[in-house]
Structure 1
Amino acid sequence: MGIGHALENKEPIDWPSLMIKHMARIADPQPGSHQLAYGNLLTIVFKEFVVPIDQVPIASPRAFGPVASLLRDLRTVRDQLAVIHAENASLRADLLASQGEVTKLQE
């Protein structure tokens, strides 16, 4: 019911962590474990809500679990990469300007 409520209110859901937790419970033979056929359920849910299956959503900062942690790390690295690309572009522009000055001085 919690997932249905979140979907209805368009609240972010950390699907990868949720699926991993439930799959671990399905594999656990202890009493109280879940018995759920994920292949059928998820296909129906994704088709109904037109969810692109080939994309992994970025987890919200409040999400927990190993997948959410990896997704946060990925976002951090992407942000760092963007900064490096910007610095690289600036340095290349400075290099071109310096090379132009060197050419003028040599002439």
Structure 2
Amino acid sequence: MSRIETAQATALADAQDKARKIEQTNQAAIEEVAKNADEKIALATADADAARNSASRLRTELARLRRSSQDAAVANPSKRESSIDTIGVLIDVLEGVE
């Protein structure tokens, strides 16, 4: 091989090595972004699950309050109007948060 061919072969090998390193760097960056996205998705999923659980507990508590209020109104009709309104407003407000 001539010196020119050797120099060209060396330049080609260097260029391929440089391209390979750039590709590896890019791939590592892509993998890091994907990893971070997966972590954020996992956190968001956990937050959504916790919110669903909280909402379920709140709905259960609101149903209990509604039953309790209705039972109290039946047991004591003289206080019925004011206590139902207060509890009813609270329940309506909390149900409207959803």
TM-score (structure 1 length as normaliser): 0.42
> Quick check: which one's helix share is greater?
2
Greater relative CO (CA pairs within 8 A, separation 6+): 1
TM-score (structure 2 length as normaliser): 0.46
